[in-house]
Structure 1
Amino acid sequence: MTHNNYWIPIIISILAGTCIGLATLLIQEKQHTAEFSYSTPAEIATPSVVNIYTHTAKQPNPLQNQPLTTVNLGSGVIMMKSGFILTNHHVIQNARSIVVALNDNRRVQARLIGSDPSTDLAVLKIDLQKLPAIQIGNSKDIAIGDRVLAIGNPFGIGQTVTAGIISAKGRNSIGLNTYENFLQTDASINPGNSGGALVNLKGEIIGISSAIYSSSGGSQGIGFATPIDDAIQVMNEIIEHGEVIRGYLGMEAQKITQPLAENLSLASSKGLLVSEIGKGSPAEKAGIQVGDVILKINNESSEDPFQVKHLIASLKPGTSISLLGIRGAQSYKINILLEEQPTMQRLTY
């Protein structure tokens, strides 16, 4: 081997080692950056989040011929490339006109496909194609403590990204909607963020920002979002039917606790206590009365009023359910035919 050939393998080894070392450093730097920066998920998700401007009629001005209007601000998320947008019902409620401002500064008139006050969701449509639809995550996979970003248009100042974690799941007694199953987050959600996106660190949407819990009107670290799995079900129903069609039983009930059972001398310390019956409802027609104890629905124990509420709503009108109850010391079992839930029905089931 000549003197020159002797050094060739050594030089190749040195160059290979240098390349591997640089690659390792670059990977480590990228991982380090990912730990301290949300730029990648924000870059992925922000083009799909839009600003929504609605004009709402006010009382007519006696000095003018036309009524005054006020402009309301909110956010929305492009769910399909064909132009379907999810937002909150309260963002577009009573709107005379709706304008969507895209991330690329285009503005276009939107039409309302339908809304669902019971979940505070609405679907809009804009007549543009090949839009940047958001990537969809799975809200069932979310764990408390997961980091998330809230993207929206707070106070109308322009698109904003805030960061936080999932603080709680399954919040269902906030009193904002009829059907609640909120994700709670400490990511700042302010007025104008409503209808915006809550995304994971892959840039996938996992919730539709809905409301804040605040005494001042500003963010105090308690915000709520509708899980995207729930929102998509509502969206698909609205696109197909123009509304969400739910089963309706027509009663209110509360969970029975041991103290409640003792105080009212109930025959069971488990189940649901019927507290109200809707006039003309399927429950009334079937003979259910206030004070009855409901033990089972469709042979499943009924101890959580929120689960029962969601069960009834998930069934279609015309579905027959079986109900096992107690009145006084006498048990009974009946079959009830569900009807279609009236619009904005106050009763929970």
Structure 2
Amino acid sequence: MAGDRQVSKRAVILAGVAVVAIAVAGTLAFSPWNSPSTAQTAAPPAAVPALIDSAVPQSDAQIKLSFAPVVKSVSPSVVNVYATRIEQQSASPFANDPFFSRFFGQGQFQSRPRESQSLGSGVIVDAGGVILTNRHVIEGATDVRIALSDGREFAVDIVIEDAQTDLAVLRVRDPGQANFPAITFADSDALEVGDLVLAIGNPFGVGQTVTSGIVSALARTGVERSDYEFFIQTDAAINPGNSGGALVDMAGHLVGINTAIYSQSGGSVGIGFAIPANMAKLVAEAGVSGGQIVRPWFGAKMQAVTADIAASLNMVAPHGALITEVAPDGPAARAGFASGDVVMSVDGVAVDDPSAFNFRLATKPIGQSVKLERLRNGSSESIDFTVEAAPVPDANTTATITGDSRFAGTTVRQLDPALAEVKGLAYDAKGIIVTEVAPNSPAEAMGLKVDDIILQLNDTAMDSAKAFAQTASQRVRTWQIILQRDGRVTRSIISG
């Protein structure tokens, strides 16, 4: 790990590709200072004051210090997650060889379905059978099942898949009379470095396992590609299969969802990452209520404050989120923020960088007023900011093409500043963005992909979903398409 905020992407492994679990019992460790043989002759250095008086254990309770009561209360709430996927696999290793295709025909190399399985973990968050796990555990799954610690198995439906947090919510399809043991959420903001934690999951598919450790760092970023990077780091052993499992405190409350590990080998090296409970709780509550996740939108682009920037702004230390661009008529603009402002805290909690700010704002309810500390021209002031939701697409801003059209199977949405920000585009970006391409549809055969931005069709500018729907429904001999993909603009001519 290079620095506090950089982690090699190749070394970070999502902990849910295979299942694993861990077993650990708490032990009482004695230092030489507490040893009976040295207690009379050795003393700790004066610079390190003893926090606890040295003493020999006098009872069984002192000797048998254990995490067992915490594990017994929490284990029933942690489940194993089994996800089945149907993938297309080529029937021949020569499928992409033009020589063999030429002489034997492409029909000899048609793909065939192949079933694959992945294992992970999950946490019961509602007695009615609602489970929280990582999205990457169940992504692309055609069938998902869970197994409780007592051996019972249930088929589940996927209620929410949230790519922005890498969280997913599952619901037991037929719970019957079962009353599921739901875990209690802790306030993850109350965590401190050095706090004891337990990680519970199903590593390597060996079955439910418990490991112990401490919180080794907070607010870690640069771990994986998600919109809300603000991870808890722990040295409790986390391995492939622990993804979606519970990280709990000594009260048996959920402080995080185990998500990734830093490893060159694929196994635990003592650096694991968990999504804080305060973020996980928002996704879980949306799943329990059957609603959608509604997130705040600030309406400004930000960057970290470097040492050079801090010096130019006469700041004592490089902290905060520097605003580089403000969306016209967005929430930040209406609150008076401008480029060059630095947001230093949210409701009195300091933010070190844009990731920290995004996390803090994302955990605030829509409509709530929060206090943002703003640094402008060397002066600090408190700004009352009302948390607003991002614009929601409606029938006027989206379109789905059906029927006898070359674009049948395409769903698009016209760009707005909030969507442009999410996609990394300029606030004034033009065009319509492809949000869905139906499998085996004419649109898929044509080569359209999700996140393609269609700029022009047959000399008609695509400035609205309505314009796209009208143009795409025409019967023409050829289509001239100008689209932007991965930042590159291309022009194509396709037969109608």
Normalising by structure 1, report the TM-score.
Answer: 0.72
TM alignment of 1:214-293, pairs within 5 A: 214-240=263-289, 242-257=291-306, 259-260=308-309, 272-275=321-324, 292-293=340-341
Are residues 285 and 143 of structure 1, via their aligned partners in 2, closer, same or farther at CA, if it must alter by over 3 Å? closer
Q: Deviations over 1:212-257 (max 9, x none)?
A: 1122221110111123233222211233354321122343212434
In the alignment, which residue of structure 2 is the partner of 1:117?
163
In the alignment, which residue of structure 1 is the partner of 2:120?
74
SS of the residue corresponding to residue 95 of structure 1 reads coil
TM alignment of 1:262-341, pairs within 5 A: 272-275=321-324, 292-294=340-342, 304-305=352-353, 306-314=355-363, 338-340=388-390
SS of the residue corresponding to residue 289 of structure 2 reads helix
CA distance in 2, matches of 1:298, 1:191: 35
Contact 1:268 1:293 in 2 (8 A): no
1:303: how far off?
6.6
Is 1:345 aligned to 2:422, yes or no?
A: yes
Contact 1:184 1:225 in 2 (8 A): yes
User: Any stretches of 5+ residues in structure 1 without a counterpart?
Assistant: 1-26, 328-332
Q: Deviations over 1:240-299 (max 9, x none)?
A: 35432112234321243452266xx6698986434466799777999988x644568999
Q: Deviations over 1:283-321 (max 9, x none)?
A: 7999988x6445689999997443432354346678899
In the alignment, which residue of structure 2 is the partner of 1:18?
none
CA distance in 1, matches of 2:203, 2:120: 8
Q: How many residues align?
A: 312
Contact 2:123 2:133 in 1 (8 A): yes
Contact 1:148 1:199 in 2 (8 A): yes
Of 80, 90, 93, the residue aligned with 1:51 is 80
1:148: how far off?
2.0
CA distance in 2, matches of 1:200, 1:130: 24
SS of the residue corresponding to residue 132 of structure 1 reads coil
Q: Deviations over 1:165-184 (max 9, x none)?
A: 12122324434422133221
1:64: how far off?
8.1
1:122: how far off?
1.4
CA distance in 2, matches of 1:247, 1:280: 15
In the alignment, which residue of structure 1 is the partner of 2:9?
none
Identity of aligned pairs, percent? 39
Are residues 326 and 74 of structure 1, via their aligned partners in 2, closer, same or farther at CA, if it must alter by over 3 Å? same
Contact 1:251 1:283 in 2 (8 A): yes
Q: Deviations over 1:14-55 (max 9, x none)?
A: xxxxxxxxxxxxx9313421x2x3322222222221110111
CA distance in 2, matches of 1:308, 1:119: 15
1:145: how far off?
2.1
* CA RMSD after TM alignment: 4.0
Is 1:161 aligned to 2:223, yes or no?
A: no
CA distance in 2, matches of 1:261, 1:216: 39
In the alignment, which residue of structure 1 is the partner of 2:147?
101
CA distance in 2, matches of 1:215, 1:205: 28
Q: What letter corresponds to residue 123 of structure 1 in structure 2?
A: V
1:326: how far off?
6.9
In the alignment, which residue of structure 1 is the partner of 2:256?
207
Q: What letter corresponds to residue 162 of structure 1 in structure 2?
A: T
CA distance in 1, matches of 2:335, 2:88: 46
Q: What letter corresponds to residue 61 of structure 2 in structure 1?
A: K
1:187: how far off?
0.8
In the alignment, which residue of structure 1 is the partner of 2:60?
29
More helix by share: 1
Q: What letter corresponds to residue 207 of structure 1 in structure 2?
A: G
